[in-house]
Structure 1
Amino acid sequence: MSIGLGIFLFVVGAILTFALDVSVNWIDLDLVGYILMGAGVVVVVIGIALLARRRASVTTERSGVDPASGQRVTQRSTESDL
C-alpha cells in the first residue's frame, strides 16, 4: 500500500509540475508538485525498507504419548517477530 501511495504522490506531483500550465496567484503549483514528488520518493523508499525487513518465526513442535488413552499427541506453536 505504501509503495502505491508513493507512486501516486509522485505522479500527481509530476503532473502539477510539468503538465499543467495554470497560474494561480495564491499558490505556486510547481513548488507543490516538487514537494509531492519528493514525498512520493520518500514514501516509496520507506515502503521498500519495510518490505525488506526480515520477519523471523519460530515453530516449536512437541510430541508425546497421552498416559490416559495411550495415543500419540503432537503440539505445535508458532511465534513470529512483528
Structure 2
Amino acid sequence: MTMGLGVVLVVIGAILTYALHITVSWVDLQLVGYILMVAGVIVFVIGLIRFFMHRRTVGTSRTYVDPATGDRVAREERVLPPEDV
C-alpha cells in the first residue's frame, strides 16, 4: 500500500507541475507539484524498505524427546516482523 501511495503522489505532483497551466493567486501549483513528487519518492522508498524488511523471517525446527513419555516432540519457532505478531 505504501508503494502505491508513493506512485499516486508522484503522478498527482507531475500533473500539477507539468500538465496544468492554471494560475491561482493563493498557491503556486508548480511548487505543490514538486513537493508531492518528492514526498511520493520518499514514501515509495520507505515502502520498498518495509517490503524487504518484511521478507526476513527466521524459522527453526527442533525435535526433542519428552523425558516423561519418551515421545518425540517437534517444535517449530518462527520470528515474524513486528507488524505480524
For Structure 1 versus Structure 2, the TM-score category normalised by the shorter chain is 0.7 to 0.9
Once the two structures are TM-superposed, the CA of residue 66 in structure 1 deviates from its matched residue by: 7.3
Give the Cα separation in 1 of the matches to 2:21 and 2:76: 63
- Structure 1 residue aligned with 2:60: 59
Which secondary structure does the structure 2 equivalent of 1:55 belong to?
Answer: coil
- The CA deviation at 1:72 is 4.2
In the alignment, what sits opposite 1:14? 14
Structure 1 residue aligned with 2:23: 23
Pairwise CA RMSD: 2.2
Q: Which 5+ residue runs of structure 2 have no aligned equivalent?
A: none
- The count of residues paired between Structure 1 and Structure 2 equals 81
TM-score (norm 2): 0.74
Q: Structure 1: where are the runs of 5+ without partners?
A: none
Aligned twin of 2:77: 77
8 A Cα contact 2:63 2:72, kept in partner: no
The answer as to whether partners of 1:2 and 1:43 remain within 8 angstroms in 2 is yes
Q: 1:74 to 1:66 in 2, by over 3 A?
A: farther
The answer to which structure has the higher helix fraction is: 2
The one-letter amino acid paired with 2:11 is: V
Normalised by the size of structure 1, how large is the TM-score?
0.77
Larger radius of gyration between Structure 1 and Structure 2: 1
Q: Which amino acid aligns with 1:58?
A: G
Q: Which runs of 4+ in 1 moved over 6 A?
A: none
